Amino acid sequence: MVEKVNLKDKILISYGTGGKYTQEFINNYVLKHFKSKILSELLDSAVLNFEMDSKIAFTTDSYTVSPIFFPGGDIGKLSICGTINDLLCVGAIPKYISVSLIIEEGLEFEVIDKILSSIEEVANEENVEIVTGDTKVVEKGSCDKVFITTAGIGVVNKNICLHYNRISPGDVVIISGNIAEHGLAVLLSRGGFGFDCKIQSDCSSLKPMLEQLFNKEISSHIKFMRDPTRGGISAVLNEVVHKRKDVSIEIEEELVPLSGSVKNLCELLSFDPLNIANEGKVVIIVDKNFAEETVKVLRQHPLGKNARIIGEVTTENKGRVILKTTYGTKRIVDMPIAEELPRIC
Amino acid sequence: MVEKVNLKDKILISYGTGGKYTQEFINNYVLKHFKSKILSELLDSAVLNFEMDSKIAFTTDSYTVSPIFFPGGDIGKLSICGTINDLLCVGAIPKYISVSLIIEEGLEFEVIDKILSSIEEVANEENVEIVTGDTKVVEKGSCDKVFITTAGIGVVNKNICLHYNRISPGDVVIISGNIAEHGLAVLLSRGGFGFDCKIQSDCSSLKPMLEQLFNKEISSHIKFMRDPTRGGISAVLNEVVHKRKDVSIEIEEELVPLSGSVKNLCELLSFDPLNIANEGKVVIIVDKNFAEETVKVLRQHPLGKNARIIGEVTTENKGRVILKTTYGTKRIVDMPIAEELPRIC
């Protein structure tokens, strides 16, 4: 029998070393957030049942965002939304998530509790199950507060067939809403700019919006989906033309949805909003005959209310992404060399 | 087209921000180690095919071991072996692994290359595929060199049914070899002890040994398996009696396999070897009628050459783990409160 151990209000090294304190920490602080029968078994691995004439999607990401709390979210919300979105972007419905924490000794329990509550909230809303995890604690100064690595498993929707090879000239590029909010929200929350500008991160799960899309016949005409996180829209579209050097992508600056405050801030700081991270948007490339209907479905959900066609696949500047500016000129949108903002996710 | 970027010999913050440097780092440094067609697609998620009348096992662990190189292994080898072993311990054959790196800015490429080579070597030997991953870089001082989080998916062997509920009085406890080597090897490699004692970590994949066992009929009589990492044998056996408060486990000190140097060092430092982490051992609880044969199968593989029966499930001290000492006395083996050694995995 485990005697009750008094846990201080800060994380101690011993909470990660596998003994009684670790057990108490897991039982009293972690499991209360995640009411999974599978997780509560606390086995080395979760054992899962699938209806198995389907393909499985598998993803992972580490989150090191600084600060860990920012307008519109925190590292916990980010870590689960990011993994959910990565699964959706290969056409899969997310099912099971793992959460692995690396915590700095001395971090307040309250902080961990808030972060786990954020994960819990998204998991409940999005109907995904946290089924396995791990906790490590490192000495003060050996990590910056907390890093979270999530992995996820989803079941690929049978209607959907995403592949670079399916992209053809004439296909249309859609973005599901206003861009560049996450990166700027995190940057501003670091302070030191001497001006007052409130931008909320768009951090959210794309599941309710994309599930609606996946359930429609038109989803079979989608050829590519990607959530434009680090490196922004520029990185995503450049990845397409690097894979498919026989096409180019042309987008129109005027069509790219952007809030007024994001536009102003980017002008002030000389940032290109195309390079800035989003955490609740999706870029979709779809057959032009189904583009309007795709936008319509996206707009039915609040997350997609600003969804727009922003450009198309062409053959004019093969291997390049081209931006038609508001002045009517054209410029190359290159892969960002080093994004302006480290540790935004 | 991506122009060639000159990468310095140290990791820069920009290698983790999702732009051109990140792409170059992934393409030139990471992918060369992992020749997976699935990984090379560099999608947000890996899409996997399974023969799907089986159950799936899913696990994750973060590795923060310090130092990152130690006798018998390094953080790379540890991170893949640990995840492989966690899958095996629920009766699954490991198939797909994800690798997520959090790297401290300024770390030498050579170090990352060695670590990735270690992962590559184990993946090749054990026939598991690295199918997805992530890289984050944080500023100098925000993490200690490199942390690795692996997740893994395996297919559960149909012969095997592991559950606490199946454990009965009379069942036998087996350990697959000499204990406490990993924890002590890492501790010694931190230096400062003023004596010369070489202990190698037992860090290894249990797959070849356990696969042999899974292929035998006797594996259906195995009721519990666990790799005794953090918290050692004590933690694993205590977990059993916490789940099954109606039984006790009695082990014999004399039977616990221990190398001479581990025994001496533990006496010198007043460590209980039962509390110290292993990274290439498994504790098995099996029906007594199949115990001898189980040990025989384990011993057929070099990893199991010191496999032994060390005790049995009884009802004498319900909810307790009891050690019969070499002096013939009995003492309670408690869940370690806070393991002696932080950051051993």
And the tokens for B169?
Answer: 């009085």
Question: Is residue B322 situated within a structural domain?
Answer: yes
Element (H, E) at B152: strand B146-156
Q: At what angle do helices B260-269 and B181-189 cross, to 10 degrees?
A: 60
Q: Please indicate if any CB of chain B lies within 8 Å of the CB of A197.
A: no
Question: Is residue A319 situated within a structural domain?
Answer: yes
Question: Is residue A299 situated within a structural domain?
Answer: yes
Pair B83, B102 in one domain:
yes
Residues 16-55 of A with CB under 8 A from B: 16-23, 42-55
The pLDDT of residue A11 is: 77
Pair B148, B221 in one domain:
no
The pLDDT of residue A12 is: 78
Which residue segment(s) compose the domain that A201 sits in?
A: 164-332
As a whole-number percent, the residues of chain B with pLDDT over 70 amount to 94
Per-residue confidence at B205, pLDDT binned at 50, 70, 90?
very high
Residue where one domain finishes, among candidates A130, A156, A182: A156
The pLDDT of residue B340 is: 58
Mean pLDDT of B117-122: 94
- Which among B45, B98, B336 has the least Cβ separation from residue A20? B336
What is chain B's mean pLDDT, rounded? Answer: 90
Pair A130, A177 in one domain:
no
Q: Is B333 helix (H, G, I), strand (E, B) or coil?
A: strand
Q: Is B19 helix (H, G, I), strand (E, B) or coil?
A: coil
**Helix, strand, coil percentages, rounded to 5, for chain B:** 35, 25, 40
Residue where one domain finishes, among candidates B105, B128, B156: B156
Question: Is residue B39 situated within a structural domain?
Answer: yes
Q: How far is A297 from chain B (nearest CA, A)?
A: 23
Pair A81, A194 in one domain:
no
Q: What is the pLDDT along chain A (345 residues), one digit of tens a residue?
A: 444 555 567 877 777 666 777 777 778 777 888 777 777 777 667 777 676 667 889 999 999 999 999 999 999 999 999 999 999 999 999 999 999 999 999 898 889 989 999 999 999 999 999 989 998 989 999 999 999 999 999 998 988 999 899 999 999 999 999 999 999 999 999 987 777 778 999 999 999 999 999 999 999 999 999 999 988 999 999 999 988 999 999 999 999 999 999 999 999 989 999 999 999 999 999 999 999 999 999 999 999 999 999 999 999 999 999 999 999 999 999 988 765 577 889
Tokens 């070499």 correspond to B326
Is the pLDDT assigned to residue B4 strictly greater than 60?
no
Tokens 């051992």 correspond to B281
Pair A185, A313 in one domain:
yes
CB B294 within 8 A of CB B244: no
CATH number at residue A171: 3.90.650.10
The whole-angstrom separation of Cα A63 and Cα A78 is: 8
Q: Please indicate if any CB of chain A lies within 8 Å of the CB of B342.
A: yes
Residues 97-116 of A with CB under 8 A from B: 98-102
Question: Is residue A174 situated within a structural domain?
Answer: yes
> DSSP letter at A290?
G
Q: Please indicate if any CB of chain A lies within 8 Å of the CB of B96.
A: yes
CB atoms within 10 A of CB A287: 18
Question: Is residue B341 situated within a structural domain?
Answer: no
Residue where one domain finishes, among candidates B103, B138, B156: B156
CATH number at residue B18: 3.30.1330.10
The pLDDT of residue B7 is: 57
Which positions in chain A touch B119 (Cβ < 8 Å)?
A: none
Pair B182, B325 in one domain:
yes
* DSSP-assigned beta bridge partners for residue B249: B313, B321
Pair A323, A262 in one domain:
yes
Pair A189, A268 in one domain:
yes
Cα–Cα distances in angstroms (integers) from residue A286 to residues A166, A177, A231, A232, A234, in the given order: 10, 16, 22, 19, 18
And the tokens for B66?
Answer: 């310090």
Residues 63-92 of B with CB under 8 A from A: 63-64, 66, 85-87, 89-90, 92
**Helix, strand, coil percentages, rounded to 5, for chain A:** 35, 25, 40
Question: Is residue B8 situated within a structural domain?
Answer: no
Contact A58 B46 (CB under 8 A): yes
Contacts of A316 (CB under 8 A, 6+ apart): A248, A250, A322
- Please count the structural domains in chain B: 2
Pair A152, A168 in one domain:
no
Question: Is residue B5 situated within a structural domain?
Answer: no
Pair A132, A224 in one domain:
no
Mean pLDDT of B44-49: 74
Pair B28, B113 in one domain:
yes
CA A170 to chain centre: 28
Pair B131, B185 in one domain:
no
Q: Please indicate if any CB of chain A lies within 8 Å of the CB of B217.
A: no
Contacts of B70 (CB under 8 A, 6+ apart): B185, B186, B189, B201
For the question of whether the overall pTM of this predicted structure is more than 0.90, the answer is yes
The whole-angstrom separation of Cα A48 and Cα B154 is: 10
